[in-house]
Chains A and B, each alone.
Chain A
Amino acid sequence: MTTDWISLPLVGMPLISSVVLLAYVAYVSPAARERMGPTVRLVTLALSLAMLVLTTAMFLGDNYIEGTLDWTTLSFGSFNYEFQYEWIESLGIHWSVGMDALSFPMVWLTTFLLPITIVATWHEKNAAVYFPLVLMMGGALIGVFVALDLFMFYVFWELTLIPMFFLILKWGGHDRKYASQKFFIYTFTASVIMLLGLVTVYFLQPENLAHAGSWTGRTFDIPTLTAHAQSANAGGEWFLGVGLQKVLFVMLMIGFLVKLPSVPFHTWLPDAHVQAPTGGSMLLAGVMLKMGAYGMFRLPLAFFPHAAEHFQFWLLALGMVSLVWGAVVCLGQTNLKKMVAYSSVSHMGVILIGIATMQPLGWAAALFMMFAHGIISPMLFAVCGAFKHHYHSMEIGAMRGMAKHSPWLATSMMFAWMASLGLPLLAGFVAELMMFLALWHFIAAEGWSVLWMVGPAFVLAITAAYYLWSMQRTIFEGGEATQPPASLHGEPVPDITDAEKWAMVIMAAFTILFGVMPWIALDMMNGWTVAFFETLLIPILTGGA
């Protein structure tokens, strides 16, 4: 690799250009700021589209950039487009980027969602500030996924909080103050605990590994640490000792479980989602939650597989509870967006169960769920946003007979709801099916009671129930005598705008694409999972060669 295709185009460019735009916007008068809105919007759209083109070219690989690249056969611990610069040399901190089949789908997803978000929220107020913030959010998110240095990872991990905090605070709903604060404090608290765990790992590594700092003799380099942990874990040994590995595993997992979020740390999510603007919700649900799952794969599971096996039951239990509890709570919601938010908790439970099975199939399911949910949930929130935007209400039942007067919104809603509840041939189904198979496999292998399957199976019914129920009440009920919501005060009922239509159609198209041809993304995820198991997990956990 001779050119750094990640740092500047995918991370630096969105961050720098958004800061420049924001600084310029803050400098001009309010009237000029208002006038600048459309231009800024176009600029951010163009930049994000350029990023999408780049990542797509990266995906297509062969000869587009940097010769032949195959994402599916990348061996474990090696990265494409890897690049490294000195940052704080004395502490062993580098600006180190690279992508493997774990991070690449997330990076592509982020670049895919950025233009979609911009288009779907085309008419957001105070555009000159809003769109740069969205772009900044994108840059920070990609930074998390491409970072191969713990320090850099943590920096971007926390950096994502700031644009999201402002998105919720400035464009959010009525209780946005409470929600944004809760969101920030929850995730910050979890992250500092994770940080202490990371620093402890940092000082427990032996001196003078590769990329070590001149002063501390330790490194923050993730691949180096992973490789070291791998060799230290080998042969049934516990890297850092039994007691400490468990403690550190828990400390790291706290950071990621809160972000995911899993029950019982999930309560920030519904508040943040309900209050967040549509664009904020789309990125929050689409990518930001996946940071939690991504982090689990990247750090604790790779560093501490013994502890992961030790806590396997608890992870499974947390996943089950998230899955069931999220779905049950959905049933009781009268607020459309809150229902969708809780359904996210439920789906994150699927990811956690997939991880907890410790099966290649389960992990691939988790990875694919991250990806599929990343396309479907933004569509859910886009629908909610359009609902709110056009009917000034979020109450299920405020609006009836939508099919009659707003066919576009009704269709989009129906499609998104169906995708989320796992209709076959749509992306979500693939992931859920894989998770069920993996869970079956796990239960059978462990000799557990079949009753363990009851919860997840029951959730399928509940999910169908709350989605169908809400759909029936908003789209179909009312028939000929449609009832425009009272909040419209007798104005004619509008359908969604052209921009929103475009966004919906694109998201729907990709939901179908990845539902019919999941192997486009699944192949590389599968390759990564298998490599992870073959090179790392199986030798370590079985204690064999």
Chain B
Amino acid sequence: MEKIEPFGEGFVLALAPEFILVIGLFTLMIVPNLGDAKFRIPMTQIRIPWFMGGKRGTLDSDPRLPGLFATVFLSLAFGLTAMSFLNGMTRTQIVSGDNVMLQVDEFSRMFELIFFGALALASAASVNRLPATSRADRSASGLYNNRRQVDFYILLITTGLGMSVVALAQDLFLLFIGLELASFSTYILVAFMKESKEGTEAGMKYFIVGSVASGVGLYGLSLLYLWSGSLQFTELTSAFAANGMESLPLIALGMLLVGFGFKVSAAPFHFAAPDAYAGATAPVAGVLATASKAMGVLGLLRILLVVASPEATEGAAVWLVALGVLSVVTMTWGNLAALGSTNPKRMLAYSSVAHAGYMLAAITAIGALNWEEGHVNLSNDAALVVVTALIFHLTVLVCFKLGAFLVLSLLESEKGGHTLESLGGLAKRDPFLAVAMFIFMMSLAGVPPLSGFVSKLLVIMGIVKVALLDVTVNSDLAFSDLHWVWFLALAMVINSAISVFYYLRVGLVMYFHEPEEGREGPLPSGGPVRLAILACLVTTVFFGVGAGQLIALAESAANALVGAW
């Protein structure tokens, strides 16, 4: 383990992807403003070339430039993160005195891959989605359109920065700051389409509910601080181990659960999600459903598994039953609500609620483990399987859930995508998109051999493994000997059977219904977004057929978390 002081030796190298994003941020701010402006020193006639503002060149005033920059920088950050896996990761901590601030390891890097990958794809897709007007157009709306380009991509990059802070943080307060940076960026991104009523309403709703959830979480945080005097993960863990579960931290944990429950859109904190997804542009909604959700799960893992370490309590974790009930309610509610929604984005939002339920079920399974002396190794193994499954699930979610949103984003650019019927006849209008969408839907439903199936299988396997951990196989084995978390797996398979109905409906509409009037022609071409969809499609299939390598990667990430307990 390497310890580095901020701006000490190796600091920049350790946080290279984050620094790339910061550079990207500044580039985005500066480059589109470069011009031939001169600065006149007051009271003189001396003009110094200042380059900010004035008449801009042809290249840097291109309205498409911010999108390109953001995509390139996010991809660079993705690439750098991926590269850090190549020659073995050394766990690096950024410390300030005795306090550990950030920690770079496989776990945080894996989540950063998810964040940066999703954001890079969304950014590429947004090039299509945000109207950019030609430079010759000097009308107010034209200028306005072009002006907004930069804002949008700056917000995408700050989202990425905030999320990576969440991934790296080793201190609850730092984690919270990263969470808020990412949240505030997404609040604005959701409301970015302010011409449309839905966009504004969605942004407002998302902001209000989100800030209340954050407030509750922050209050929980302060209670934890009151109790232990520190927000360092290590300190909190040892405080739990020493004092056991007292009522004060229990209340604090409950409040934190609210804060992060909102982020993963778990019932009953999910009410803002469908509105937010429906009002936001499709790429942003895709980010909410994948990267933002991964951030929430990351927070939950840190809090429930590291801070309130289940092994510190006797028997099962204190939050076990609460979380188990929550997971079943979440998945069932999400699926039932998705059955009734006719807006594909709302449908996907509810399906993402259902997926949150599956992930909560997996986390619950870890809480059911028995951490007594002599049992720790077994439990560690089982926890490793579950966390691996979670990471795998979150990773492939970027492929097919974001992919589905990207398909919708192409429909959105012809003012469709808000009703299921606008998908009608897609098979005839654009076979590639229809096939892609169908594969994404099948993957969401968990049909083999797509990656959605492998991820669901892994989650089920994790839960079942936990449920069977204390079972000794002999003739007297009865069904009731299974731990009750087995029923979470049953709830999950029944729920995925329900979900097939609405995923299949999308396919039916695309292949069976006639196009709506005025939508018969081909869809807008949109090179970047199609490329992004193709990338999602290829990975969706590849991680299903050749899941081995991603599983190994997820396992190494999970090992970094579980092994450090």
Give the interface of A toward B (CB within 8 A).
26, 87-91, 151, 154-155, 158-159, 161-162, 165-166, 169-170, 176-177, 180-181, 184-185, 188-189, 192-193, 195-196, 199-200, 202-204, 206, 215-216, 232, 237-238, 240-244, 246-247
Interface of B is mostly: helix
In the assembled complex, how far is the CB of residue B388 from the closest CB belonging to chain A, in whole angstroms? 8
**In the assembled complex, B431 has its CB within 8 A of some CB on chain A:** yes
What sequence of 0s and 1s flags, for each residue 350-377 of chain B, a beta carbon within 8 Å of any chain A beta carbon?
A: 0000000000000000000000000000
Instruction: Tell me if A177 and B479 are in contact (CB < 8 A).
Output: no
Would B432 and A195 count as touching, CB distance under 8 A? no
Contact with A along B474-497 (1 / 0, CB 8 A): 111111111000100110011011
Q: Are B464 and A203 in contact (CB under 8 A)?
A: yes
B547 within 8 A of A: yes
Question: Most chain-A CB neighbours within 10 Å: which of B476, B478, B479?
Answer: B479
Given known contacts A90-B551, A203-B461, A161 and B447 CB-to-CB distance under 8 angstroms: yes
The answer to whether A155 and B448 touch (CB under 8 A), given A88-B547, A199-B457, A216-B385, is yes
Q: Chain A residues near B465: list those with CB within 8 A.
A: 203, 216
Q: Which of B522-565 contact A (CB under 8 A)?
A: 547-548, 551-552, 555
Contact B480 A243 (CB under 8 A): yes
Q: Are B479 and A243 in contact (CB under 8 A)?
A: yes
Q: B514 to chain A: closest CB distance in Å?
A: 13
B367 to chain A, nearest CB (A): 18
| Assembly CA distance A163 to B552 (angstroms) | 32
Tell yes or no: B500 within 8 A of A by CB.
Answer: yes
B471 located at the interface, meaning its Cβ lies under 8 Å from any Cβ of chain A in the complex: yes
Q: Which 10 A-B pairs have the closest CB atoms?
A: A241-B477, A243-B478, A189-B497, A155-B448, A192-B493, A243-B479, A26-B431, A88-B548, A203-B468, A155-B449
**In the bound complex, do residue A247 and residue B479 qualify as a contact, i.e. CB atoms below 8 Å apart?**
yes
How near does chain B come to A260, taking the closest CB pair, in angstroms? 18
A162 touches B447 (CB 8 A): yes
Contact present for A26 and B447 (CB under 8 Å): no
Chain B residues in 8 Å Cβ range of A216: 385, 461, 465
At the interface, yes or no: B442 with Cβ under 8 Å from chain A?
yes
Instruction: List chain A residues, Cβ under 8 A from B435.
Output: 26
CB-nearest residue of chain A to B428: A30
Say whether A196 contacts B500, CB under 8 Å. Answer: no
> Could you give 26 example pairs across A and B, Cβ below 8 Å?
A26-B435, A89-B548, A90-B551, A90-B555, A91-B551, A159-B449, A161-B447, A162-B442, A165-B504, A165-B507, A169-B511, A176-B512, A188-B500, A189-B494, A193-B493, A195-B493, A196-B464, A196-B493, A199-B457, A199-B489, A200-B486, A203-B468, A237-B475, A240-B477, A242-B478, A243-B480
Contact of B475 among A88, A89, A242 (CB under 8 A): A242
Q: Are A240 and B473 in contact (CB under 8 A)?
A: yes
Instruction: Check A181 against B504 for contact (C-beta < 8 Å).
Output: yes
* Contact yes or no, B501 A200, CB < 8 A: no
A242 to B478, CA, bound (A): 6
The reply to whether B548 and A188 form a contact with Cβ atoms under 8 Å apart is no
User: Chain A contacts of B120 at CB under 8 A?
Assistant: none
Contact B504 A199 (CB under 8 A): no
CB of B556, distance to nearest CB on chain A (Å):
11
Contact A238/B489 with A155-B449, A188-B500, A244-B481 known, Cβ cut-off 8 Å = no
Least CB distance from A111 to B in Å reads 22
> In the complex, are the beta carbons of B548 and A90 less than 8 A apart?
yes
CA of A26 to CA of B493 in the docked complex: distance in angstroms?
Answer: 34
**Cβ-defined partner of B473 (8 Å) among A161, A180, A206, A242:** A206
How many angstroms between the C-alpha atoms of A155 and B457 in the bound complex? 11
CB distance from B302 to the nearest CB of A (A): 24
Residues of A within 8 A of B457 (CB): 151, 195, 199
In the assembled complex, the Cα of A32 lies from the Cα of B475 at a distance in Å of 65
CB distance from A453 to the nearest CB of B (A): 36
Please indicate the chain A residues that have their CB under 8 angstroms from the CB of B464 in the complex: 196, 199-200, 202-203
Q: Assuming the A-B contacts A241-B474, A247-B479, are A185 and B460 also in contact, with contact meaning beta carbons closer than 8 angstroms in the complex?
A: no
A170 touches B497 (CB 8 A): no
Docked CA distance A158–B445 (Å): 12
Give Cα A215 to B465, complex, Å.
Answer: 13
